[in-house]
């Protein structure tokens, strides 16, 4: 029988050579301390070969695309990078 396990989030994702490691986290404290931040703790590390990681990435991308088509989620508009903002400023300055 396959065990289902719930995680609240994803921590660090690292690739070393042909192996990908994904830290899965759970909420252990809602943040009643001085900084009032919730505390996540690594609960499990998913380790897989790179080809399996890429297949998982592709499958998740397809699911997100389907959710966008159905209106369940919306893609955020891209925020321009510092370099893109600098190019726009230079173009604006050249036109004046």
Residue 20: count of CB within 10 angstroms of its CB: 20
Please report, for the chain, the start and end positions of each structural domain, with discontinuous segments joined by +.
Answer: 9-75
Give the pLDDT confidence score for residue 90 in this predicted structure: 60
Instruction: Enter the DSSP assignment of 33.
Output: S
Non-local CB neighbours of 13 within 8 Å, separated by 6+ positions? 20, 21, 22, 23
Q: Please give the average per-residue pLDDT across 17-33, as a whole number.
A: 89
CA distance 96 to 94: 6
Q: Would you say residue 78 has pLDDT above 80?
A: no
Radius of gyration of the chain (CA): 20
In the structure, what pLDDT confidence band is assigned to residue 68 with cuts at 50, 70 and 90? Answer: very high
Pure H helices in 1-96: 50-69, 82-95
CA distance 96 to 86: 16
- Model confidence, pTM: 0.67
């Amino acid at each position: 029988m396959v065990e289902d396990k719930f995680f609240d989030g994803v921590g660090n994702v690292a690739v070393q050579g042909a192996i990908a490691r994904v830290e899965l986290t759970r909420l252990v404290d809602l943040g009643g301390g001085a900084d009032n931040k919730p505390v996540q703790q690594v609960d499990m590390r998913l380790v897989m070969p790179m080809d399996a990681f890429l297949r998982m990435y592709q499958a998740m991308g397809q699911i997100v695309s389907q959710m966008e088509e159905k209106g369940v989620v919306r893609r955020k508009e891209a925020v321009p990078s510092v370099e893109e903002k600098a190019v726009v400023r230079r173009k604006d300055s050249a036109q004046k």
